Amino acid sequence: MKLMLKAVTIASAIIATPALAEHWTLSPEGSHLAYGTIKKDTVGEVNSFTNLSGHVSPDGKAEIEIDLSSVETNIDIRNERMIEHVFRNAGTATLTAQIDMDEVKALAVGQTAVVDVEAALSLIGTDVEFDTEMFVLRVSEKSVMVSTNDMVFLSTEDAGVNAGVDKLMELASLPGITRTVPITARLFFNMDEQKADAGTAAPVEVAAVAAVDGDIKAGKKVYRKCKACHQIKEGKNGVGPSLYGIVGASAAQADGFKYSDALKSSGIVWDVETLTTFLADPKGTLPGNKMQFAGLKKDEDITNVIAYLQSESEG
């Protein structure tokens, strides 16, 4: 499920570029979503969902529904148990996404691309956010195929289904079922010509250029080193404080985060110069702060990640 949303996100980016600004609809006949499980440590199984639907609008907004009652484990009683205990008769899981249009350029027929995407999965009251790389193929003028590029795993704990897996183990008298699930997806999208004829496609919005002279796309990749501790959502702290609006802000200002005395009394304003110095050597620049990261060694990585942080704060 996790990977499917990522695939949908890429498709949304492709079809929302100026050359391809049309409505697109998921083709269930050519699409396939599968996940794997391991029980008793050595028995591997592949399951799937047979009923998928969804669409992508001209502005790149994707919404895909997985019919949870269509889960296929090849054993009827196991299908029933999955629906009742793991999915709690929820009906559907919803996948939504909005992608930066600069991530994808219009592809000619036969051309491919590997694209970074961000998306979210809503499953029985739990939202899971993630990013990954997806492989995109322009099959024809009116169809796009998107597939998983690398193996990606979904944690049953993150998805909020651990209790259901426990129940499956109990009912089947199993000593164990894996709690990390590998997922693969192959998705086909076809142009919806009726909707395309109903009106003109929405224009692509160009993202604001960050004041920092850096490569925002490259900075996003550098930021992966920061994601274990920091988020860029306003007001959402993790192990470290939220980095939303960090460029130009005074130090120790994120609401609800418990800062070190060293940082609270520093008087630092996080402009490009101070961020550059700090990111190169956090401990050496400000002894006594709680940040455990050793620092970024490449000047270009520092410049690019600052540009990315600024662009994300500007929306």
164, 40: one domain:
yes
Judged against a pLDDT cut of 80, whether residue 251 lies above it is answered with yes
Q: What is the pLDDT of residue 239?
A: 86
Please answer whether residues 251 and 278 qualify as being in contact, where contact means their C-beta atoms are separated by less than 8 angstroms: no
Judged against a pLDDT cut of 50, whether residue 15 lies above it is answered with no
Q: What is the mean pLDDT of residues 240-251?
A: 89
Specify the residue for token string 């109990």. 170
Is position 145 within any domain?
Answer: yes
163, 20: one domain:
yes
Judged against a pLDDT cut of 60, whether residue 100 lies above it is answered with no
Cα–Cα distances in Å, from 254 out to 20, 86, 220, 271, 293? 41, 37, 21, 16, 19
How far apart CA 56 and CA 16 sit, in angstroms, is: 9
43, 186: one domain:
yes
Q: What is the pLDDT of residue 101?
A: 37
For residue 308, how many other CB atoms are within 10 A of its CB?
25
pTM above threshold 0.75: no
Q: What is the pLDDT of residue 180?
A: 92
Residue 197 corresponds to which tokens in the numbers above? 């004829």
Judged against a pLDDT cut of 50, whether residue 298 lies above it is answered with yes
Expressed as residue numbers, the domain containing 160 is 2-198
Residues 6+ apart with CB under 8 A from 226: 240, 243, 293, 305
Q: What is the mean pLDDT of residues 87-114?
A: 75
How far apart CA 163 and CA 97 sit, in angstroms, is: 28
Judged against a pLDDT cut of 80, whether residue 20 lies above it is answered with no
User: How much helix, strand and coil, in percent to the nearest 5, is found in the chain?
Assistant: 30, 30, 40
Cα–Cα distances in Å, from 8 out to 47, 95, 144, 194? 20, 8, 11, 21
Q: What is the pLDDT of residue 164?
A: 95
268 by Cβ neighbours in 10 Å (0-12 / 13-18 / 19+) ranks as: middle
Judged against a pLDDT cut of 70, whether residue 211 lies above it is answered with no
Per-residue pLDDT tens digits for 255-264? 888 999 888 8
Judged against a pLDDT cut of 70, whether residue 212 lies above it is answered with no
188, 269: one domain:
no
Is position 49 within any domain?
Answer: yes
Is position 308 within any domain?
Answer: yes
173, 245: one domain:
no
271, 307: one domain:
yes
Q: Which of 169, 198, 227 is the last residue of a domain?
A: 198
65, 161: one domain:
yes
- Mean pLDDT across the chain, nearest whole number? 81
Q: Which of 198, 230, 261 is the last residue of a domain?
A: 198
Per-residue pLDDT tens digits for 114-156? 877 777 889 999 998 877 788 888 888 888 888 888 888 889 9
Share of the chain above pLDDT 70, in %: 83
Return the closest-CA partner of residue 46 out of 219, 220, 182: 182
Is position 12 within any domain?
Answer: yes
How far apart CA 213 and CA 247 sit, in angstroms, is: 13
Pick the more confident residue, 264 or 100.
264
One-letter amino acid identity for 2? Answer: K
pLDDT band at 229 (very low <50, low <70, confident <90, very high): confident
Q: Which of 198, 227, 245 is the last residue of a domain?
A: 198
Is position 205 within any domain?
Answer: no
Q: What is the mean pLDDT of residues 90-110?
A: 70
19, 61: one domain:
yes
CATH number, domain of 262, equals 1.10.760.10
Per-residue pLDDT tens digits for 160-190? 999 999 999 999 999 999 999 998 888 888 8
CATH number, domain of 82, equals 2.40.128.110
Cα–Cα distances in Å, from 282 out to 228, 229, 240, 276? 16, 14, 13, 10
How far apart CA 179 and CA 182 sit, in angstroms, is: 10
Cα–Cα distances in Å, from 259 out to 33, 40, 249, 251, 254? 44, 45, 15, 9, 9
230, 81: one domain:
no
Give the chain's domain count. 2
Per-residue pLDDT tens digits for 53-78? 988 777 767 788 999 999 999 999 99
Is position 210 within any domain?
Answer: no
Kindly give the interhelix angle for 299-313 and 272-280, rounded to the nearest 10 degrees.
130
The residue count of the chain comes to 315
Residues 6+ apart with CB under 8 A from 265: none
Is position 244 within any domain?
Answer: yes
How far apart CA 160 and CA 107 sit, in angstroms, is: 38
Is position 208 within any domain?
Answer: no
34, 178: one domain:
yes
